[in-house]
Structure 1
Amino acid sequence: MRIMLAFIFLSVCNYTIANDSIVIRNLSALRIEEAPKIDGFLDEEVWKGAEIATDFTQGEPNPGESPSQKTEVRVLYDDEAIYIGAIMYDVSADSIMRQLSNRDDEENTDVFAVMLDTYNDDQNAYGFVIHPTGVQWDARYSASQGQDVSWDAVWKSEVRIDATNWYVEMKIPYSAIRFSKEEVQTWGINFGRKIRRFREFNWWNTLNPEIDGFVNQFGQLNGIRGIKSPVRLAFIPYVSTYYENYKDPAAGTSSDAYSINGGMDIKYGINDAFTLDMTLIPDFGQVQSDNQVLNLSPFEVRFDEKRPFFMEGTELFNKGGLFYSRRIGGTPAGYYDVGDQLESGETITENPNEVQLINSTKISGRTKRNLGIGVLNAVTARTFATVKDSLGVARAILTEPMVNYNVFVLDQTLKNNSSISLINTHVFREGDKMDANVTGSELKLRNKKNSVSFDMGGVLSQKYYNNPDSLDLGFTYGMKLGKIGGNLQYGVWYFAESDTYDPNDLGFLYNNNETGTGAYLNYNVYKPYWIILRSWSSIEVNYGRLYKPDKFASFSMAANVGATFRNYMTAGMFVNYQPVETYDFFEPRIWGRYYTNPVDVNFGGFFSSDYRKKFALDGNGNLRTYDESGRYRLNVTLEPRFRLNDHLSFQYEIESYNFINDIGYAAIDSVDNIIFGKRDLLTLINELEAAYIFTNRMGLSLRVRHYWSTATYKDFFVLDHSGYLTDSDYSGEDDAGSLLHNVNFNAFNIDLVYTWVFAPGSEIKIVWKNSILHQGSEIADDYFKNFEELGDLPQTNSFSIKVLYYLDYLSLRRKNRKV
Structure 2
Amino acid sequence: MSKIPLSFAMGLVFVGTSLLANDDRVIRARYIEAPIVIDGILDELAWALVEPATDFVQTNPVQGEPATERTEVRLLYDDDNLYVGVYCFDSEGEQGIVVTDVTRDYQSSENDHFALVLDTFDDDRNGFLFGTNPEGAKRDAQTVGDGTHINFDWDGIWHVKTQITEQGWQVEMAIPFKTLRFREGDDQIWGVNFVRHIRRKNEVAHWSLVTRPYRMNRVSLAGTLEGLGGIRQGRNFYLKPYISTPITRREGDDVDFMPEVGMDAKYGVTPGLTLDLTLNTDFAQVEADVQQINLTRFSLFFPEKRDFFLENSGIFEFAHTGRRFGRRDLIPFFSRRIGIEQGEIVPILGGVRFSGRAGQYTLGILSMQTDEFEVTPSTNFSVLRLRRDILRNSDIGGLFVNKKVNGGDFNRTYGTDVNLKFLTYLNISSYILKTDTTGIDSQELAGAFNARWSDLFWDIEGEYLSIEDNFNPEVGFVPRPGIRKTLGELAVKPRPGESIGWIRQFRPGVTLDYITDQNNVLQTRVLDGSFTIELQNGGEIRFGHKSTFERLEEPFAIRLPQEIPVGDYQFADFSVSFFTDRSRAFSGDAGIETGEFFDGEKDSYRLGFLLQPSYHFLAEVGWEHDDVRLPSGDFTDNLVTSRFRYSFNTTTFLNALIQYNSTLKEVSSNIRFNWIYKPLSDLFLVYNERRASTGEVVERALIAKLTYVFDF
1:282–1:757 distance in 2 versus 1, CA, 3 Å: same
Please say which of residues 14-23 and 104-113 is displaced more in the overlay: 14-23
> 1:113 is matched with which residue: 109, 112, 115?
115
Partner of 1:155: 158
Partner of 2:347: 356
Residue 622 (structure 1) shift: 1.2
- In the alignment, residue 623 of structure 1 is paired with which amino acid? T
Residue 254 (structure 1) shift: 5.7
The C-alpha deviation readout for 1:304-339, integer Å capped at 9, x for no partner, is: 21211111221111224311111111116xx9xxxx
Q: Is the CA contact 1:114–1:191 (under 8 Å) kept in the aligned structure 2?
A: yes
1:73 correspondence with 2:73: yes
Residue 597 (structure 1) shift: 3.2
1:67–1:639 distance in 2 versus 1, CA, 3 Å: same
- In the alignment, residue 754 of structure 1 is paired with which amino acid? F
- In the alignment, residue 53 of structure 1 is paired with which amino acid? A
1:180 correspondence with 2:202: no
- In the alignment, residue 209 of structure 1 is paired with which amino acid? R
Q: Secondary structure at the match of 2:46?
A: helix
Q: Is the CA contact 2:102–2:136 (under 8 Å) kept in the aligned structure 1?
A: no
Partner of 1:303: 302
The C-alpha deviation readout for 1:781-810, integer Å capped at 9, x for no partner, is: xxxxxx4x2x1x34222111111111100x
1:755 correspondence with 2:674: yes
User: Where does structure 1 lack aligned partners over 5 or more consecutive residues?
Assistant: 1-9, 248-252, 336-352, 385-398, 663-677, 710-744, 775-786, 810-819
Partner of 1:350: none
Partner of 1:409: 385
Q: Is the CA contact 2:87–2:171 (under 8 Å) kept in the aligned structure 1?
A: yes
Q: Secondary structure at the match of 2:308?
A: helix
1:796 correspondence with 2:702: no
Partner of 1:695: 649
Q: Is the CA contact 1:241–1:259 (under 8 Å) kept in the aligned structure 2?
A: yes
Partner of 1:281: 280
Partner of 2:409: 434
1:267 correspondence with 2:270: no
- In the alignment, residue 140 of structure 1 is paired with which amino acid? Q
Q: Aligned equivalents of 1:145 and 1:587: distance in 2? A: 40
Partner of 1:716: none
Partner of 2:427: 453
1:290–1:482 distance in 2 versus 1, CA, 3 Å: closer
The C-alpha deviation readout for 1:671-697, integer Å capped at 9, x for no partner, is: xxxxxxx23231101111111111111
Partner of 1:20: 18
Please say which of residues 202-211 and 66-75 is displaced more in the overlay: 202-211
Residue 603 (structure 1) shift: 2.0
Counterparts in 2 of 1:369-408, with a 5 A limit? 369=360, 371-384=361-374, 399-408=375-384
Please say which of residues 57-66 and 226-235 is displaced more in the overlay: 57-66
Q: Aligned equivalents of 2:60 and 2:295: distance in 1? A: 44
Partner of 2:337: 327
Q: Is the CA contact 2:181–2:272 (under 8 Å) kept in the aligned structure 1?
A: yes
User: Where does structure 2 lack aligned partners over 5 or more consecutive residues?
Assistant: 1-5, 320-330, 558-563
Q: Is the CA contact 2:202–2:536 (under 8 Å) kept in the aligned structure 1?
A: no
Residue 472 (structure 1) shift: 5.0
Q: Aligned equivalents of 2:498 and 2:492: distance in 1? A: 15
Q: Aligned equivalents of 1:455 and 1:703: distance in 2? A: 38
Counterparts in 2 of 1:746-785, with a 5 A limit? 746-772=665-691
- In the alignment, residue 670 of structure 2 is paired with which amino acid? D
Partner of 2:625: 656
Residue 84 (structure 1) shift: 0.6
1:88–1:560 distance in 2 versus 1, CA, 3 Å: same
Q: Is the CA contact 1:416–1:450 (under 8 Å) kept in the aligned structure 2?
A: no
- In the alignment, residue 335 of structure 2 is paired with which amino acid? S
Q: Secondary structure at the match of 2:178?
A: helix
Q: Aligned equivalents of 1:586 and 1:454: distance in 2? A: 37
Residue 166 (structure 1) shift: 1.5
Q: Is the CA contact 1:619–1:638 (under 8 Å) kept in the aligned structure 2?
A: yes
Residue 610 (structure 1) shift: 1.3
Q: Secondary structure at the match of 2:341?
A: coil
1:31–1:486 distance in 2 versus 1, CA, 3 Å: same
1:805 correspondence with 2:708: yes
Residue 555 (structure 1) shift: 2.8
> 2:578 is matched with which residue: 595, 603, 607?
607
Q: Is the CA contact 1:82–1:171 (under 8 Å) kept in the aligned structure 2?
A: yes
Residue 230 (structure 1) shift: 1.5
Partner of 1:243: 247
Q: Secondary structure at the match of 2:63?
A: coil
Q: Aligned equivalents of 2:372 and 2:539: distance in 1? A: 53
> 2:638 is matched with which residue: 681, 684, 689?
684
Q: Aligned equivalents of 1:381 and 1:632: distance in 2? A: 47
Q: Aligned equivalents of 2:177 and 2:627: distance in 1? A: 54
Residue 79 (structure 1) shift: 2.4
Partner of 1:665: none
> 1:228 is matched with which residue: 229, 232, 238?
232
1:659–1:254 distance in 2 versus 1, CA, 3 Å: same
- In the alignment, residue 806 of structure 1 is paired with which amino acid? V
Q: Is the CA contact 1:210–1:487 (under 8 Å) kept in the aligned structure 2?
A: no
Q: Secondary structure at the match of 2:648?
A: strand
1:42–1:276 distance in 2 versus 1, CA, 3 Å: same
Q: Aligned equivalents of 1:746 and 1:16: distance in 2? A: 59
Partner of 2:324: none
Q: Secondary structure at the match of 2:497?
A: coil
The C-alpha deviation readout for 1:360-399, integer Å capped at 9, x for no partner, is: 2211101122x10000110001123xxxxxxxxxxxxxx1
Partner of 2:44: 44
Higher Cα Rg, which structure: 1
Counterparts in 2 of 1:461-472, with a 5 A limit? 461-465=435-439, 471=441
Q: Aligned equivalents of 1:769 and 1:519: distance in 2? A: 44
Residue 229 (structure 1) shift: 2.1
The CA RMSD measured in Å over matched residues stands at 2.6
Q: Aligned equivalents of 1:539 and 1:94: distance in 2? A: 44
1:99 correspondence with 2:100: yes
Residue 211 (structure 1) shift: 6.3
Q: Is the CA contact 2:94–2:164 (under 8 Å) kept in the aligned structure 1?
A: no
Partner of 1:344: none
> 1:123 is matched with which residue: 109, 125, 133?
125
The C-alpha deviation readout for 1:139-167, integer Å capped at 9, x for no partner, is: 11223643211111110111122222311
- In the alignment, residue 381 of structure 1 is paired with which amino acid? D
1:301–1:495 distance in 2 versus 1, CA, 3 Å: closer
Q: Aligned equivalents of 1:484 and 1:569: distance in 2? A: 22
Q: Secondary structure at the match of 2:18?
A: coil
1:569–1:106 distance in 2 versus 1, CA, 3 Å: closer
Q: Aligned equivalents of 2:152 and 2:598: distance in 1? A: 45
Q: Secondary structure at the match of 1:101?
A: coil
Q: Is the CA contact 2:551–2:569 (under 8 Å) kept in the aligned structure 1?
A: no
The C-alpha deviation readout for 1:282-319, integer Å capped at 9, x for no partner, is: 22122222345676865444322121111122111122
Partner of 1:133: 135
Residue 279 (structure 1) shift: 1.6
Q: Secondary structure at the match of 1:500?
A: coil
Q: Aligned equivalents of 1:610 and 1:267: distance in 2? A: 41
The C-alpha deviation readout for 1:652-689, integer Å capped at 9, x for no partner, is: 10111122217xxxxxxxxxxxxxxx232311011111
1:487–1:516 distance in 2 versus 1, CA, 3 Å: same
1:472–1:284 distance in 2 versus 1, CA, 3 Å: farther
Q: Is the CA contact 2:247–2:702 (under 8 Å) kept in the aligned structure 1?
A: yes
Q: Is the CA contact 2:443–2:469 (under 8 Å) kept in the aligned structure 1?
A: no
Residue 65 (structure 1) shift: 1.7
Q: Is the CA contact 2:94–2:168 (under 8 Å) kept in the aligned structure 1?
A: no
1:684–1:166 distance in 2 versus 1, CA, 3 Å: same
The C-alpha deviation readout for 1:138-197, integer Å capped at 9, x for no partner, is: 111223643211111110111122222311111111121111123322211111111222
Q: Is the CA contact 1:11–1:525 (under 8 Å) kept in the aligned structure 2?
A: no
Q: Is the CA contact 1:297–1:587 (under 8 Å) kept in the aligned structure 2?
A: no
Residue 47 (structure 1) shift: 1.7
Q: Is the CA contact 1:287–1:306 (under 8 Å) kept in the aligned structure 2?
A: yes
